[in-house]
Amino acid sequence: MSFDAQFASLNQTKLNEESPTPLYYQLYSLLKQNILNGSLEDGSQLPTELGLSQAFSISRITAKRALDELAAEGLVARRRAKGTHVTHKYQPKPVKAPLVGMLQELEFMGQHSEARVVELTTARPPAEIAEEFALVEGETLLKMTRVRSRLHEAFGYYVSWSKGLNKFNEKASLETTTRLEIFRKNGIEIKHVKQILSASAATAQVAKELGVEVGFPLLSLTRRSYDENENLVDYLSALYHPDRFQYRMDLTPEPSNE
């Protein structure tokens, strides 16, 4: 991506000459923020000191000091005759949310909707899932395929692979008791959950169960649940009808140490 495309909105920002914050620091902060959030990509070339001075109506000395500050932090590299290039690679961090609240929401949904078990079997999972569970040769997991409905309208299609559910794992229990309660009855407490949200198109089987056309766009969720020893105990793939299901999160920022 060219710098002009990346910088299009950035150079519309006006520096405040009346602010007690020095102009060089305002420019430094603006560039740093856009480097850290990935707006200015790793390897992209920044304007020259003259280019920055013209874009922000500041002196070349001011622009130079801002670039020098970025270089001192390792966010850019400045080379004679080659210009200034971003040297920070943006890596998004996972959003953290309180686990207790999320588990309560999952139990609430389970208690206020109906589950129908489509498939219940003990089987060897696909290789990539078996590897995540660190299964030994021949070891199997409990596979469940379920459809969850509210007011007789299906909204979710679930395929899960679970380890350690040796009791209360019959179809009747799984249709009348939340899976979190089933885990607890087997002596397993979920202590850590990782989730990935995406989108997917409905396959023929999923389309039939959710009452949509093949290829219908669905909300996709992959959830990995771990016990107190960080052992993976459940791998869940869920597909949701976007008009019948909302995934809400109420996040509170962690206290700053600064």
CATH of the domain at 141: 3.40.1410.10
Give every CB contact of residue 16 below 8 A, 6+ residues apart in sequence: 26
| Residue type (1 letter), 163 | K
Q: Are residues 53 and 177 in the same domain?
A: no
Q: Are residues 78 and 193 in the same domain?
A: no
Q: Are residues 76 and 111 in the same domain?
A: no
Which pLDDT score, from 0 to 100, does residue 1 have?
Answer: 41
pLDDT (tens digit, 9 = 90+) per residue, 26-56? 898 888 888 887 778 888 889 899 988 888 8
Question: Is the torsion defined by CA of 169, 172, 174, 176 positive or negative?
Answer: negative
pLDDT above 60 for 5? no
Domain range for residue 118?
99-240
Question: Which two tokens mark 230?
Answer: 């960080």
Q: What is the DSSP letter of 256?
A: P
pLDDT (tens digit, 9 = 90+) per residue, 54-109? 888 899 999 999 999 999 989 999 998 888 999 988 776 665 555 555 566 666 66
pLDDT above 90 for 123? yes
Q: For 218-242, what is the HEC assignment?
A: EEEEEEEEECCCCCEEEEEEEEECC
Q: Examine residue 72 and state whether it is found in any structural domain, yes or no.
A: yes
213 within 8 A of 202, measured Cβ to Cβ: yes
164 within 8 A of 143, measured Cβ to Cβ: no
Residue 2 binned pLDDT confidence (cut-offs 50, 70, 90): very low
Q: Are residues 42 and 82 in the same domain?
A: yes
CATH of the domain at 74: 1.10.10.10
Count of domains observed in the chain? 2
Strand (E) or helix (H) holding 145: strand 141-150
pLDDT (tens digit, 9 = 90+) per residue, 155-176? 999 999 999 998 888 888 888 8
Q: Are residues 205 and 166 in the same domain?
A: yes
Locate all alpha helices (DSSP H) within 8-158, ordered by sequence. 23-36, 49-56, 60-72, 99-111, 127-133
How many angstroms separate the Cα of 197 from the Cα of each of 3, 202, 255?
Answer: 31, 16, 26
pLDDT above 50 for 208? yes
Q: What letters, b where the CB count within 10 A reaches 16 and e where it falls short, cover 162-183?
A: bbbbeeebeeebbeebbbbebb
Whether the model pTM is above 0.75: no
Q: Are residues 74 and 126 in the same domain?
A: no
